[in-house]
C-alpha cells in the first residue's frame, strides 16, 4: 500500500535512533524537543518547500502518527516543519 498526502501535507518517517560511542541508544526524548525525520512523500499543495528524501526538523508532538505495512509514519502540514537539515 502506498499513501499520498493531499494539499500541504507531508509524509515523514523517523530516522533511526543515534548511538553513543559506547554503543548506547539515545532516545529522542533525551536530547532536543525537536525530532529529525526523512520526507517520504509530499502533497500537491503550493506551499510545500520540502522534497522527497529531505531531512527535516519538527516539534516532537506535531502531526498525526499512522502505521502502513507495519511501518510507522507521521503526516504533518508543511507549516509544522521547522527546518531542512543540510548535512
pLDDT tens track, the chain, 87 positions = 788 999 999 999 998 766 666 666 556 555 566 789 999 999 999 989 999 999 999 988 899 999 999 999 999 999 999 999 997
* Closest residue by Cα to residue 56 from 3, 26, 11: 11
Tally of domains in the chain:
1
Residue 48 lies in a domain: yes
d(CA 74, CA 63): 6
Domain holding 39, by residue range, is: 9-15+31-85
* CB neighbour burial string for 24-41, b if at least 16 within 10 angstroms, e if fewer: eeeeeeeeeeebbbebbb
CATH number of the domain encompassing residue 54: 2.30.33.40
pTM for the full model?
0.81
Residue 3 lies in a domain: no
Amino acid at each position: 500500500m502506498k499513501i499520498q498526502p493531499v494539499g500541504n501535507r507531508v509524509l515523514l518517517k523517523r530516522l533511526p535512533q543515534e548511538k553513543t560511542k559506547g554503543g548506547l541508544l539515545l532516545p529522542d526524548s533525551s536530547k532536543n524537543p525537536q525530532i529529525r525525520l526523512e520526507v517520504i512523500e509530499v502533497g500537491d499543495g503550493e506551499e510545500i518547500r520540502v522534497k522527497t528524501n529531505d531531512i527535516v526538523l519538527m516539534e516532537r508532538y506535531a502531526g498525526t502518527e499512522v502505521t502502513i505495512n507495519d511501518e510507522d509514519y507521521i503526516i504533518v502540514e508543511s507549516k509544522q516543519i521547522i527546518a531542512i537539515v543540510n548535512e
